Amino acid sequence: MKKILLSLATIGVVGAIAAGATSAYFNDTETSVGNVFTAGTVDISVDGQNAWQKTYTEQIGKLVPGETATLTVPVKNEGTKPIVLRKMITASNFQDGVSTDAEVAETADNDISKALIYGMDITDGGVTTTVINPAWNVRVNEVSTLWVTLGTVEPGETVTVKQTYKMAEETTNWAQGDTMDLGITFYAEQTMGTGPDTVNGVVLDNKAGTDWHSVVDGELGIFNHTGTSYTFRGFGLVSGRTYRLAYSVAPYSSYIELAGATGVATVDGKITLSGTNLPSSLSDVKIWLLSGTTTDGWGISPNQTTNLWEANLINLI
C-alpha cells in the first residue's frame, strides 16, 4: 500500500510539471531598418528666381492717364507639399518727384496709388481665372497691404500671375512726375493654414470643402477699416440679392450683423457698404458677407458660394 501511494505521488508531480511547461509556437519576425523621416518642404520660386530679387521699374513706370502697365511672373511650387499661394502689394514712400508748372497749379497730392486701377488674373494648367477684374475699378490704395489668395498649387506646378496697373483716365495734372515704391510679395503656406495677419483690412472670398479652402472664381470682397470705421466693396455677387456684413469672434460659433451694413447687389454684381460700428477690438474677429434677408436664411457652410468669408479656416463647432 505504501508503495502504491508513493507511485501515485510520483505520477502527480510529473503531471504538475507537464501542466506548467511552456508551449512552443511557430513564428517569424521581420524588421525594416534604414528608414529616414523627412519633413515636407514649402518653397516657391518667382520668375525663375529663388530667392526672388528682380525689379520691374521699367515695366511699370512713367504711365499717363489711360495707359496700362502689365507685369507677368511665373510662380513655381519648388517644395514637396501642396501650398496655398497668396499675394500682397504695398504702396509707400509717395514723393513729388519731378514737378511741372501744371502740377504745381493744382492741389498738392503725391499719393498716386489712388490713381492706379489694379487688375490680376492667374493661369493654371492653361486655364485663366480673373482674381481682380480691372472693370471693378479697384485702386491700388484699396488693396495695399492686403493678402489676396490665388489658390492651391501642387508640388512641381507652375502658375502664371498677371498684374495690370492702369492710370485712371480722369487723373489730372496733380499726379505728373509723382513717384511711389511698389512692393510685391508672394506668400506660400501649407494647406489648412490660416494665412498671415493683416492690420488695416482683409480680403473675403468663397470657400469650399471641409478645410474651407479659398475658391478663386471672380467673387471677391475688400474690407478696409481704420479703428472702428470701415468700408466694404464686393464684386462678382448675385445681382439683386440682399447681402449683410457681419463679424464673428473666436471660436466663431455665431455671428453678429453690423448695424446698417445691408445692401443689394447691383446689376453688375457690386455692392458698397460702410459704417462705424465695428467692435472696439478686432483681435480674433473674422468678417463675413452673408446673403439673405433673414438670419435663418444666411446659412453657415463653406459650400454656400453666395457668402464670402475671411481667412482659410472657419471653426464652427
Least trusted range by pLDDT, from 86-95, 98-107, 222-231: 98-107
Q: What is the mean predicted confidence (pLDDT) over 161-171? A: 93
Tell how far CA 138 is from the center of its chain: 18
Grid coordinates in use for 209? 470643402
Query: Which residue has better confidence, 292 or 46?
Result: 46
**Is residue 141 classed as helix, strand or coil in its secondary structure?**
helix
The confidence score (pLDDT) of residue 247 equals 86
Is it the case that residue 205 has pLDDT exceeding 70?
yes
The confidence score (pLDDT) of residue 149 equals 93
List, in sequence order, every beta strand (DSSP E) within 66-212: 68-77, 83-95, 116-124, 127-132, 148-153, 158-167, 179-190, 201-208
d(CA 91, CA 115): 12
β-pairing, 116-124 with 127-132?
A: antiparallel
Q: Which residues contact 184 (CB under 8 A, 6 or more apart)?
A: 56, 71, 87, 88, 89, 163
The dihedral built from the CA positions of residue 233, 86, 114 and 201, taken in this order, carries a sign that is positive
Average of per-residue pLDDT values in the chain = 82
Helices (H), 86-174: 101-104, 140-143
CA angle 211, 307, 294 (to 5 degrees): 125
Whether 271 and 237 have beta carbons less than 8 Å apart is answered as yes
Q: What is the mean predicted confidence (pLDDT) over 144-159? A: 94
Topology of domain 197-317 in CATH is Immunoglobulin-like (2.60.40)
β-pairing, 158-167 with 116-124?
A: antiparallel
The confidence score (pLDDT) of residue 314 equals 61
Q: Does domain 40-192 have CATH number 2.60.40?
A: yes
Tell me the CB-side half-sphere exposure of residue 203, using CA atoms within 13 A. Answer: 30
Whether 137 and 102 have beta carbons less than 8 Å apart is answered as no
DSSP letter at 136 equals G
The confidence score (pLDDT) of residue 270 equals 95
β-pairing, 148-153 with 285-291?
A: unpaired
Q: To the nearest 5 percent, what fractions of the chain are helix, strand and coil?
A: 15, 40, 45
pLDDT band at 298 (very low <50, low <70, confident <90, very high): very low
The confidence score (pLDDT) of residue 166 equals 93
Query: Which residue has better confidence, 277 or 48?
Result: 48
Omega into 251 within 30° of 0, i.e. cis? yes
Whether 165 and 56 have beta carbons less than 8 Å apart is answered as no
d(CA 143, CA 133): 13
How many residues does the structure list for the chain? 317
d(CA 199, CA 301): 26
Q: Where does CATH 2.60.40 sit in the chain?
A: 40-192, 197-317
Whether 141 and 91 have beta carbons less than 8 Å apart is answered as yes
Least trusted range by pLDDT, from 8-22, 125-139, 204-218: 8-22
Whether 147 and 203 have beta carbons less than 8 Å apart is answered as yes
- Over residues 241-295, the pLDDT tens digits come to 899 898 888 777 777 888 778 899 999 999 999 988 787 777 778 888 988 755 4
